[in-house]
Structure 1
Amino acid sequence: MLPWVVRRTRLPLLSLRCVDCRSETATTGEGRFRVNANGKLLDVWLLVRCVSCGRTGKLTVHERTPVRSLDPAELDGYRANDPELVTARLLDPLLARRNRFTLDWTGAWRLDIPAAWLDEGWPVRVRVVFDDPVPVRPERLIAQGLGLSRNEVLRRIKCDVPLRRSTSTGFTFTVMAGD
């Protein structure tokens, strides 16, 4: 079974309406948190910047949270603007739902395929693994990887997930020999 790997090349853009210019695209920029203490309670925000006008906005990560309820390592990560913590929070679906944004993965991922995979005998079995939860339609991913049209993919591919429904979890498929 051949391995294909979907890897993130950068953080995705956020589909989030700017209050100034009404643009729908924002970025995390350098990935900075803002931590504000009020007595024994903390507020933590992830700062985002509008791609069009440059206005800075805030995504609520924690609101009025008791300091003792946070893991000390996590709190240090917020204070140090840890890039891995920025990524983890940005990819957290609960944060996206609470702050009403979606992720735009266009151009933020690549597909790594072994170089000599065509030397295999037909049919070829392939396992697709995701390093990050990049939502992609299997038919588009396979078409890109094989250099086929999407109609040809639908005709020649046997897959364990629906080809026309987005997924961000691993799957396997079999490529049948062409006519």
Structure 2
Amino acid sequence: MSTRSSFVLPWAVRRTRLPLLALPCVDCPAERATTGAGRFRVNANGKLLDVWLLVNCVGCDRTSRLTVHHRIPVRSLPVHLLEGYTKNCADLVAGVLLDPALARRHRFVLDWRGCWELHAPQVADDPWPLEVRVTFDQPVPVRPEQLIAHGLGISRGEVLRRVKADIPLKRRTMGDFSFVVV
């Protein structure tokens, strides 16, 4: 009876920047916008508050506003959120931008190309079968087959033949998963 030693390789997916927004500009033919440094505009009108996320066109740098809150009573907003909006908290910008309700309301989709990188340690020898655990530091939607092909330097067809994963390989995921290469 032989025992197979299990070698587990940790991979980490890290977001390098916020995604671009597929949002047409009203001034130029550009189809992309960015949050830039990530700024909010807060406007108080009496006891009512408006909050916008400011985005810039990639082509002409025109600033547009995405409504986050419209005419809400100041007291209905938690204090930590109000502080985050006025101080342009980077985590709050990311959270608001990644909110699917905001994307539906303003009719944009997120363009994740070039927004993440894979940190995968190299293996000197070939310990086949190889088990890999992939963790996500922040939510980034990727297709596991593309991620594995990129990390191992093999084609996506070969990934489909040689990899056994605990999730579907052709559907986008933002959660941790593991796979075995045989």
The alignment's TM-score, normalised by the length of structure 2, stands at 0.90
Distance 1:92 1:2 in 2: 32
Q: CA RMSD in A?
A: 1.4
Unaligned residue ranges in structure 2 (runs of 5+):
1-7
* Partner in structure 2 of residue 128 of structure 1: 134
* Partner in structure 2 of residue 16 of structure 1: 23
Q: How many residues align?
A: 175
Distance 1:172 1:83 in 2: 30
Q: 1:36 aligns with which of 26, 43, 66?
A: 43
Q: 1:61 aligns with which of 68, 93, 108?
A: 68
* Partner in structure 2 of residue 165 of structure 1: 171
* Partner in structure 1 of residue 96 of structure 2: 89
2:40 is aligned with what amino acid? F
Provide the secondary structure at the position in 1 that maps to 2:117.
strand
* Partner in structure 2 of residue 174 of structure 1: 180
The alignment's TM-score, normalised by the length of structure 1, stands at 0.92
Distance 2:175 2:21 in 1: 21
> 1:2 Cα deviation (Å)?
2.2
Please give the per-residue CA displacement for 1:9-61, whole angstroms capped at 9, x wherever unaligned.
11111111111224210001121100011111111000000001111101111
2:161 is aligned with what amino acid? R
2:174 is aligned with what amino acid? S
Unaligned residue ranges in structure 1 (runs of 5+):
none
